């Protein structure tokens, strides 16, 4: 996967859609990958994941994309950060907006859970919640370098309101 000035390259892999393509979707059920390698290329950094295991389903269409991750584990090779478990469901729908449900991420040193909704255009209202059971400072520094916090963190955050005036509330603090 490569991001450039025009966006993610996935957008340019398919031909220009026709009107009859509106309701078509690619549905892949019960996908299992074992010992996979994925590279995500961003202008500022290349993320290299290895030893990946994945189980889930996906539906990709013109107006709706859904991804259900039932199991994901692996290592980001540049940092050595190990994803022990990642699960959740994400839906991007022209009519319903973006919904993330049951998102859980556990690495060797961190545990996060979240859910949220961003309403459809044009009035995109936000309602999202994140629980940080532990966010390991050493993993943050390994992933993002010296600018990342050195301390471990814990707490909870919530974001709500219209897209133009999202209010973030919560209590997140360094754990000693």
Closest CA to 60 of 104, 103, 13: 13
Residue 61, pLDDT above cutoff 60: yes
Q: What is the pLDDT of residue 26?
A: 81
Q: What is the pLDDT of residue 176?
A: 66
Closest CA to 32 of 52, 54, 4: 54
Residue 10, pLDDT above cutoff 60: no
Closest CA to 112 of 121, 103, 99, 122: 103
pTM value is 0.81
Closest CA to 55 of 32, 38, 37: 32
Per-residue confidence at 111, pLDDT binned at 50, 70, 90?
very high
């Amino acid at each position: 996967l490569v991001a450039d000035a025009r966006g993610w390259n996935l957008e340019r892999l398919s031909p220009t859609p026709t009107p009859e393509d509106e309701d078509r979707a690619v549905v892949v059920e019960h996908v299992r990958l074992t010992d996979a390698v994925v590279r995500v290329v961003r202008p500022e950094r290349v993320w290299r994941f290895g030893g990946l295991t994945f189980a889930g389903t996906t539906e990709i269409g013109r107006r709706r994309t859904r991804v259900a991750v039932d199991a994901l584990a692996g290592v980001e090779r540049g940092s050595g950060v190990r994803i022990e478990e990642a699960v959740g469901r994400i839906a991007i729908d022209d009519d319903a907006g973006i919904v993330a449900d049951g998102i859980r991420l556990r690495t060797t040193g961190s545990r996060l859970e979240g859910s949220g909704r961003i309403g459809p255009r044009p009035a995109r209202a936000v309602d999202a919640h994140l629980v940080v059971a532990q966010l390991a400072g050493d993993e943050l520094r390994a992933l993002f370098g010296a600018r990342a916090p050195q301390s471990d963190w814990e707490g909870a955050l919530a974001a709500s309101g219209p897209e133009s005036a999202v209010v973030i509330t919560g209590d997140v603090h360094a754990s000693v």
